[in-house]
Structure formats: structure tokens, C-alpha cells
A and B are shown apart, each in its own frame.
Chain A
Amino acid sequence: MTNPPFGVTRRQLSLGLLIMPAMLSGCAKPAPEERISATTPWDDIEKMARGQTVNWQAWAGDPKINDYIGWTAQTVKARFGIDLVHVKTSDTTAFIQTLLGEKSSGRMSGGRTDMVWLNGENFSAAKGLDLLWGPFAERLSNWKLVDVKGKPSTINDFTLPTEGYESPWGMAQLAFFHDSATLANPPRTIPAMLAWAKSNPGRFAYPAPPDFTGVTFLKQALLELSADRAPFYKPVDKATFAAQTAPLWAYLDQLNPVAWRSGKSFPPDYPSLRQLLEDREIGIAFAFNPSEALNAVNSGLLPATTRAYILEGGTIQNTHFVAIPFNSSAKAGAMVVANFLLSPEAQARKADPRLWGDATVLDLSAVAPDDQARFAALPKGAALPDAQSLARALAEPHPSWMLALGDAWRARYAT
């Protein structure tokens, strides 16, 4: 007989394996199921919401956003008696995976998360897997203020109809920025970007796909370089993918050799790209938030002479949302919070570049004159793109293009 490993006999081992699950089974108790039907009046929902705790899973990478959520929590506590808890996360994808695990292990109620901040791919995956509760968005009393006509991405998230399973919260748009002290006249189209890079070798960079900002740059270039944009708003068709994306690869084949580090190395993500601009390694950076440049100026990360702009042919715009997981324990509370987030008061605060600087999803002509004044009073920063140029928006392609473009890029430039 050999010595058992770790000095453990077989009997002890089986004892140990028995102890383990017992030790680990300290679990949450499901709360009583709420009854919210399609006809429940809004007043009743507000009544049900009173006293509920809403756990809101939201990306916590920016102190400004965290402060805004903190303000929301104080306000909904005072007005609606809701305890809003910011469950800080760095990874929404991991949350979707968690939710999927909960569903497959049959945790249909008593969930630990009642509201989640998401869009695009995450929404598409969550809705496809039936992980969201709804429809609820169109039942919110502030829904009528949403600019569904002027900002179609409020009901079409990366081409997918939201069907009321998520409620719009804010707008994002790809914006470019530069230091006007060193670069007075930046290129304003995708082809001009290449010409600029050729005459300033090593001073243009984009994050390596499959990074989100990197793929967004690819999508932007693809839309601008293609005569027919219709295919990009449908799921990727493998048969025609090569032909449809050929202009993009021809473009990148020229751009990469004159890009930062001759295209042999790429910054991994947006923050690194911003830092390269800060360190004056590159001359142009871009972000999926028009007020990003202003934020960076305000926090001393970029010089005051930084200016942001939208490309002449427009840039990709999308909306971010809040949704309610299928097993939320406080659906009424989450609806009331989502509704508050759509209020002109909350939206105007969110649009204030000193506090966050995220564009509103509302149709300003639909809000009351008093509330219009809130928006009119917002300060304008020199580092913000002007309002007219922000109207030049391109819709997000279908989510399947995200993965397909990222993969095709990797196959070409990361081998």
C-alpha cells in the first residue's frame, strides 16, 4: 500500500468531499414574487416599489459616473423610498455569464441583481438567451419624452429592436480629438486620416481589435469606405463578407505601415490610446463619447487646447440602456428608477459636462419649457464638439459585425 496523498485515507477523503458542499451552501433566500401585469397602473408600481432595494449592476470605471449614480440613489430614496445600491462592476459580460448560470441552475426568482447597465452585444446576448424581464420600457411614464424618431438607436440597439426590454439612458458617439496647439487642422474624413498618417508617420494609432474602441474604428472606416451600407445592418453573411470588407483591408494595408510603431504594435484599448496622446506619442485619438476629451481636459489629463470633432460624414452613434434581469427581486423598484433616469431633471444633470457630459436620449421639444431651460443652461466646453456636428450620426451595424471584423482583423494583422 502506498502512502495516500496529503496523508489522507480514502475514508477521510470521502468525508471531506461530503463536507465541502455543505460548507458552501449558505445561499440567499428568494423574496416573494412580485405581480406586475401589463395593465398594472403606474401608481401601483410606485407603491410596490416603496421600500424595495434595487441592486444596480453598473460599470464603475469612472468616478463621475459613480457620483452620478450616488446622486440618483439619494434622490430615489427621498422621493420614492427606494434603496438603490450600486453594485460596482468592471465587466458586464461576466454578469451576463453569471445570469446565464443562474438561469441554468433554476434560480428563477430572488436574484441578487435588479437592474443592469448594458447595450449592443451584451443586450443581444442577454435577450437572445431570455435573460431579461419585460417588456417594461414603454410602460414608463417618461417614455413619451424619448426621442425615438430623431435618435432611432433608442429603440434599435445595434440594429436589434429593443422591444421594451431595455430603457434608454444616454447617447454615445465616436468623436476624434487632438491638441489644437500642435495640430491646428486635423483630418476630418477616413481617407484624409490616411493621408495625414502618411505625412506624419508613427503619429496615428488605433486600439487592437477585438477591443471595443478598435472595432468601432474599423466599423467607422468600413461604413465610410463603402458605397452600399445596407449589408452592415444585417447579420454577417460569410459568403459575401470578404468582398464587402475588401475596401477596409485595402485601407488598413496602407494605414498600418505608417501608423504608430509601423503597425507592429497597437495600444490595447481606449485608455492607452488617450495616454499616447497625453504623452505626445500620437497626434489624434478618439473615444466613444463626445465629452471624453473635455473630461480629460478637466481632470488634467490633456492640455486645455484639446479640441474634439465629429467626422464630416458623421460618426457611429449608439445608445446605452438599463434592463431588468429575469430573476430580479425588485422589478417595480427597477422600473421606477429607470423612469427617474429618463426624467428631464436626471437627463439634464447627466448631460452637464461638469458632472458627466453624456448626451440626452430625450426629445427636447417634448419636454416642458422649464425643463428645456435646464438643458439650455448647460455650459459649453471648448473641448466639446458643437451640437450641429453631433447630429451627423451613423447607426451601429448589426452586432455580428463586431465579432466578425475583430476576427478578420486578427487573422490579417495579428499573426
Chain B
Amino acid sequence: MARPLRDVSISKSALARNPFGWAPPLTFAIFVGPILLGLFGTLLPSFGLQPALGQFELSLNPWCAFLSDPALVKSLRLTLTVGFGATAIAVIIGFGSVATLYGTRAFAVVRALLAPALAFPHASFAVGLAFLIAPSGWIARLLSPWATGWDQPPDLLIIRDPDAIALMLSLALKESLFLILMIVGALGQINAGTMMRSARSMGYAPARAWLLVVAPQIYAQVRLPIYAMLASALSIVDMAIVLGPAAPPPLAPMTLDWFRELDTARQLMASAAAIFQLLLVIVAILLWRLGETIVRQSMRGLLTSGIRHGWSERIVGSVGKVGIAFALVASLGAILMLIFWSFAGTWSWPSALPEQWSTAMWVRSVDTLAELVGRSAIIGIAVSAVATALTILCLEAGVGRSTPRWLAILYIPLLVPQISFLFGIQLLWNRLWLDGTVVAVALTQLLFVLPYVFLVLSDPYRALDPLIAIAARSLGASRVRTLFKIKLPLLARPVAGAMAIGFAVSVGLYLPTMFAGAGRIDTLTTEAIALASGADRRQAGIIAFALTVLPFMALALVNLAPNWERRTSR
């Protein structure tokens, strides 16, 4: 038969009877609609079409202006350094560390530290780290002047270096933690133990065995998250503002600067730059794929070479071990700095600790803090609840049962540079008279929260034994009743977990909040970035600390859930 008739008829009749059939189109509308409109709203101005600014003539001027910008070449170089550098280093650290630590006691420690480290938003991490490593920062203060002889902070290029090395390394450390968590998740889906045992029995060194046999299968599982990492590293804004160079900055912050200019030509140019970044990410992912092929080919040689141990796995392993140690130390150090500063009275160079401790800033910030925490939490709860509900309804309606094609669409907001469709989305909200409202912020955040919730929830959902639901249905329970009385109680933990992840993502979103909020809706993240560049470190410390605690609390609540479950089920 030419076409798979069976498939189609099943899905159609199923939708006709399925009371949740309306959920996928609704999700589709909320999800793909704004992205498409957003991309269009960015694409048209890049060719000179911007009715809101009175521009109706098709022209290439924005592109010419962008491509002839004097800072473009340098800025592009910085972008590529950060994008490829940070992603490659994160991959090496991620795979190298798991390869050497897998199965050891140290790995258990790393695993336990992963979740809190991941709850640490990029913005807070950057603020804390900047103070840790700056020439006038904590490490320098600890050693000065007794060991270094510095009675003034040294004039050293450590952060904001013109080649963005500091930004690249910090991002690599931060992303490596995310990748390790992904690798750990993927390990649960393949039979790594058996493969390791047979490779070991043939005399392969443990790390080499892991890298040659297990890693390729893991890589296939974590490929999409790695692409998402690459895309976000190429378009990073929040960490770049704190740790990156300013003259020129990488492409994404430079585009933001242009977009904020009240000059029509400059804004059209910003649109061209945003579309350019979309193309850049596509090319970068293709290049990365090419790199994958090259690595795979060279690995093939290693597989058949018969060599069972050598220097290569030791190097990768050491880089991994050192990298993960740095990543954890940097995260801990950064959060320590935030806490120190939030309780500092005066703290001047070269004192290693504040000269006076004080709660004055906490007392003074209590109103602002309450307002920001409240707003961030309300948006986060609303967005994660809606995302979770939509995900459950879509899964009930059968989305993703046949092929994982939907996965690609879900990943769009994670793979496409945010800046390339947020411009357009801002115009959309403006047209709808919604910009600068909490509703617009929540709807925009949903685009970035829904993918994570879907990814976290869909596997446990589909892993649920279908016989349980069938039994309930055959006893006469409706689909809706089966969902609420049988499935959801059984899935309480994954559902809560997905909500917590959604909440953490929502709280940490910077650009979507900034664009949809039109400067009127401040959340902990926008405030942390606004304060990060140097206002009052004590205030920045408080905000960034709160920003860290909020998602952490959400994740901690979920981890407390099993006890609660057991107690009530008795």
C-alpha cells in the first residue's frame, strides 16, 4: 500500500472520541503561533519593512549596515569562541568526568551536588563568580598583600577580557553540570553496566572502555541538549553582560544595544543582526554535526586498533575531573560570595572578609525583595502549571505516540536564538495591547518552559503501564475520570518534578521576560542582571541569592514529596 492508511484512520478516530482532542491545537497555537509571528516580525524589519516605524519600502540597507559594522568581525569572532569553545569544553568535561568517575564514590557526591548546582541561575552564577576571580575579588583579597605584594588591585585582564576567554570558560563550567545531569539521565536508558563489564573483561582501561563503548550511545541520547547548549552559548546575553567584554561585546548583547537605540535605521539593523544569529546557529549546528562525524571516524580507528589503554583517555579523564571540580568549586564559591556580600557592611580592598557584617541591606531590601520574589513566583507557578497541564493533555490526546517528530518543534525555542524571535513577539504583544503585562511575560515564558516540561514528563508518562488505564476504562471509568483518579495520582511525582523544573526555568528566564515585560515587569532575574554590572554588590548579592533559593526550594519540595506520599497513603 502506498500510504499508511491504518495509522491515519487510528489517529482520526481516536481524536474524534478523545475528549482531549482540543489540547494539541491549543498548545500548537500558544506555542508555534508566537514563534512564527515572532520570526516574521524580526525578518520583515531586517529587509526594511517596519510599519510601526513608518518603513514600508523593501530594502537591503539594514543588512548592508549590519554587515559593514566595524565591530562585526571582532564580535563574530567572540561569539564563535564562546559558542564553540564553551560547548566543546563542556562536552569534554561532561564525558571525561563521567568516564573516570562513573561507579566511584566521588561520582555519588557529584550527583548529589548536581541538582542544587543546576538550580543556580546563570545570572547569579556570573555575579558571584565575577567577584570571586576579579583582580580586586575575593581570591586576590585572600592573598593580598601578604603573598602577592599587591597593595592595590593589580591591573590584570581576568574578567571582561577582550577575547571573551573568561566568559567562555565560565559558561563551559556552568554548562558541563547540565550536561552531566543529561548524561546521568541517559545512562538510565542504556545497559551501561553489562557493556562496561564485557569491555573490561577484554582488558580495556575503565575510562577508555566507557569512552569507546558507552559514550557513543550516550551521545546519541544527549545530542539535542548539546545542540541547545551550542545555540544558547552562541547567543548568550546574561552572562556576557557580567563577564564578557564591552568593546565590542559578542553578537547577542551588541544586537540588544542596537535594539535599544531610538534610531530607526539602528533598529532595522538590529533585526538583521538577529536573523543573522539564527542563520549562524543553523550553520554552527551543521558544523558541529560534521565534527561529530570526524570524531566518530577517528574513534572507529581506536576501536579496532587493539590498544586497551593509552594517554588519550587519561587526558580526557583528567580534564573532566579537573573541570568538574572547578565547576563545583566555582558554583559554591559564587554562592558564598553572594551570601558574604548580602551581609557586608563595608568591605574594601584588601580585606578578605567584610570589615563589618550587617543585615541593613536585607532590612532595606525587604519590600523590593518581597515584590520581586512574589512576582517571579506567581509567574513561575502559573507558567509551569499551564505548561504541565498542556503537556498532560497533549500526552492524553496521543501526541508523540507514533513518531518523535514533535520533538523537533518542541526544541525550536531552545535551538533558535531567543533574540531572533523575541523582537517580533514584542511587536505582537504591543499590537495586542499586552506588552508590559504579566500575561505577556507568562505567555512568552511558556514558549521556553513547555519544552522542558514536555521532555521531563513525557518519558515517565509513556512508561506508565497502559494496562492500568485499560483496566479502569473497562470498569466503566471515563477517560477524564481515569486521568484524574488513576493516572495522575500514580504520576504525582513526575508531574511535581516537571512542574518544579518548569518553575526553575521560568524564574531564570532573562531575555523573554525583558522583551515581553517592556521594562515594566521586573523579576528577580531582570533585577539581578540590572544590578549585576556593578550597582550595589550587597543588593546584587541579595537579589541573586533569592534568585538561587527560589528554584532550589521548588526542587527540594519535590524531593520531600515521597515521604509525604508514603505517610498519607497509609
A260 touches B406 (CB 8 A): no
Answer whether residue A102 sits at the interface, using C-beta atoms and an 8 A cutoff. yes
Interface residues of B in 1-55 (CB under 8 A from A): 3-4, 7-8, 11-12, 15, 21-22, 24-33, 51-54
A280 touches B348 (CB 8 A): yes
Answer whether residue A175 sits at the interface, using C-beta atoms and an 8 A cutoff. no
Interface stretch, picked from A137-145, A229-237, A407-415, is A407-415
Answer whether residue B225 sits at the interface, using C-beta atoms and an 8 A cutoff. no
Residues of B within 8 A of A276 (CB): 136, 534
Taking a contact as CB atoms closer than 8 A, the residue among B8, B262, B431, B520 that contacts A122 in the complex is: B262
A104 touches B52 (CB 8 A): yes
Residues of B within 8 A of A24 (CB): 432, 434, 443
Interface stretch, picked from B79-87, B325-333, B396-404, is B396-404
Name the distance in Å between B239's Cβ and chain A's nearest Cβ: 13
Chain B 424-437 per-residue mask, 1 if CB under 8 angstroms from chain A, else 0: 00110011111110
A102 touches B403 (CB 8 A): no
Residue of A nearest to B157 (CB): A261
Name the distance in Å between A191's Cβ and chain B's nearest Cβ: 23
Residues of A within 8 A of B4 (CB): 1
Answer whether residue A367 sits at the interface, using C-beta atoms and an 8 A cutoff. no
Given contacts A88-B520, A91-B519, A268-B246, contact A8 B432 (CB under 8 A): no
A266 touches B24 (CB 8 A): no
B518 touches A95 (CB 8 A): yes
Name the distance in Å between B484's Cβ and chain A's nearest Cβ: 22
Name the distance in Å between B560's Cβ and chain A's nearest Cβ: 34
Taking a contact as CB atoms closer than 8 A, the residue among B11, B30, B155 that contacts A201 in the complex is: B155
Residue of A nearest to B408 (CB): A5
B439 touches A26 (CB 8 A): yes
Name the distance in Å between A410's Cβ and chain B's nearest Cβ: 5
Task: State A265–B409 Cα separation when bound (angstroms).
Answer: 40
Taking a contact as CB atoms closer than 8 A, the residue among A1, A61, A269, A403 that contacts B3 in the complex is: A1
Given contacts A210-B257, A264-B162, contact A202 B155 (CB under 8 A): yes
A415 touches B74 (CB 8 A): yes
Residues of B within 8 A of A203 (CB): 155
Answer whether residue A239 sits at the interface, using C-beta atoms and an 8 A cutoff. no
Residues of B within 8 A of A15 (CB): 22, 25
Answer whether residue B71 sits at the interface, using C-beta atoms and an 8 A cutoff. yes
Name the distance in Å between B62's Cβ and chain A's nearest Cβ: 16
A90 touches B519 (CB 8 A): yes
B246 touches A265 (CB 8 A): yes
Answer whether residue B565 sits at the interface, using C-beta atoms and an 8 A cutoff. no
Residues of A within 8 A of B122 (CB): none
Residue of B nearest to A99 (CB): B430
Residue picked from A3, A63, A93, A100, most chain B C-beta under 10 Å = A3
Chain B 239-268 per-residue mask, 1 if CB under 8 angstroms from chain A, else 0: 001000111100000000100111100100
Answer whether residue A199 sits at the interface, using C-beta atoms and an 8 A cutoff. no
Residue of B nearest to A403 (CB): B263
Given contacts A19-B25, A122-B262, contact A7 B400 (CB under 8 A): yes
Answer whether residue A378 sits at the interface, using C-beta atoms and an 8 A cutoff. no
Chain A 22-58 per-residue mask, 1 if CB under 8 angstroms from chain B, else 0: 0111111000000000000000000000000000010
Task: State A16–B22 Cα separation when bound (angstroms).
Answer: 9
Name the distance in Å between A16's Cβ and chain B's nearest Cβ: 3
Residues of A within 8 A of B26 (CB): 16, 19
Taking a contact as CB atoms closer than 8 A, the residue among B3, B33, B346, B530 that contacts A20 in the complex is: B33
Residue of A nearest to B403 (CB): A3
Given contacts A7-B399, A415-B70, contact A265 B157 (CB under 8 A): yes
Answer whether residue A107 sits at the interface, using C-beta atoms and an 8 A cutoff. yes
Task: State A267–B244 Cα separation when bound (angstroms).
Answer: 10
A268 touches B241 (CB 8 A): yes
Taking a contact as CB atoms closer than 8 A, the residue among B403, B427, B433 that contacts A28 in the complex is: B433
Chain B 387-412 per-residue mask, 1 if CB under 8 angstroms from chain A, else 0: 00000001001111111011011100
Answer whether residue B59 sits at the interface, using C-beta atoms and an 8 A cutoff. no
Residues of B within 8 A of A23 (CB): 29-30
Interface residues of A in 244-286 (CB under 8 A from B): 260-262, 264-269, 271-276, 278-281
B530 touches A100 (CB 8 A): no
Given contacts A13-B28, A89-B520, A122-B262, contact A25 B432 (CB under 8 A): yes
Chain B 142-166 per-residue mask, 1 if CB under 8 angstroms from chain A, else 0: 0000000000110101001110000
Given contacts A5-B409, A98-B518, A122-B262, contact A90 B526 (CB under 8 A): yes
Residues of B within 8 A of A21 (CB): 432
Chain A 112-133 per-residue mask, 1 if CB under 8 angstroms from chain B, else 0: 1000000001101100000000
Name the distance in Å between A348's Cβ and chain B's nearest Cβ: 25
Residues of B within 8 A of A273 (CB): 534
B536 touches A301 (CB 8 A): yes
Task: State A218–B470 Cα separation when bound (angstroms).
Answer: 74
B29 touches A265 (CB 8 A): no
Name the distance in Å between A130's Cβ and chain B's nearest Cβ: 11
A279 touches B153 (CB 8 A): yes
Taking a contact as CB atoms closer than 8 A, the residue among A5, A90, A208, A261 that contacts B405 in the complex is: A5
Interface residues of A in 394-415 (CB under 8 A from B): 403, 410-411, 413-415
Residue of A nearest to B11 (CB): A7
Chain B 518-540 per-residue mask, 1 if CB under 8 angstroms from chain A, else 0: 11101000100010011111000
Task: State A403–B8 Cα separation when bound (angstroms).
Answer: 59
Residues of A within 8 A of B24 (CB): 6-8, 12
Task: State A268–B364 Cα separation when bound (angstroms).
Answer: 27
Task: State A97–B70 Cα separation when bound (angstroms).
Answer: 26
Task: State A249–B160 Cα separation when bound (angstroms).
Answer: 23
Given contacts A91-B260, A94-B518, A410-B71, contact A269 B399 (CB under 8 A): no
Answer whether residue A186 sits at the interface, using C-beta atoms and an 8 A cutoff. no
Answer whether residue A365 sits at the interface, using C-beta atoms and an 8 A cutoff. no
Task: State A88–B11 Cα separation when bound (angstroms).
Answer: 50
Chain A 53-69 per-residue mask, 1 if CB under 8 angstroms from chain B, else 0: 00001001101000000
Chain B 73-116 per-residue mask, 1 if CB under 8 angstroms from chain A, else 0: 11000000000000000000000000000000000000000000
Taking a contact as CB atoms closer than 8 A, the residue among A27, A125, A208, A303 that contacts B432 in the complex is: A27
Taking a contact as CB atoms closer than 8 A, the residue among A16, A87, A96, A107 that contacts B520 in the complex is: A87
Answer whether residue B494 sits at the interface, using C-beta atoms and an 8 A cutoff. no
Answer whether residue A387 sits at the interface, using C-beta atoms and an 8 A cutoff. no
Answer whether residue A299 sits at the interface, using C-beta atoms and an 8 A cutoff. yes
Given contacts A5-B409, A266-B247, contact A105 B29 (CB under 8 A): no
Given contacts A5-B409, A61-B535, A281-B136, contact A16 B28 (CB under 8 A): yes
Chain A 196-226 per-residue mask, 1 if CB under 8 angstroms from chain B, else 0: 0000011100011011000000000000000
* Interface residues in chain A, defined as those with a beta carbon under 8 Å from any beta carbon in chain B: 1, 3, 5-9, 12-13, 15-17, 19-21, 23-28, 57, 60-61, 63, 87-98, 100-102, 104-105, 107, 112, 121-122, 124-125, 201-203, 207-208, 210-211, 260-262, 264-269, 271-276, 278-281, 299-301, 303, 403, 410-411, 413-415
Subset of 24 A-B contacts with CB under 8 Å: A7-B24, A13-B25, A13-B28, A16-B33, A63-B368, A87-B520, A90-B526, A92-B519, A96-B262, A101-B435, A105-B52, A124-B262, A210-B261, A265-B157, A265-B246, A267-B246, A268-B246, A269-B533, A275-B537, A279-B136, A280-B153, A403-B261, A413-B247, A415-B73
Given contacts A3-B7, A102-B430, 6 further A-B contacts (CB under 8 A): A12-B15, A91-B519, A261-B160, A265-B162, A275-B537, A280-B136
- Which 6 A-B residue pairings sit nearest by Cβ, starting from the closest? A16-B29, A202-B155, A91-B519, A279-B136, A101-B430, A272-B534
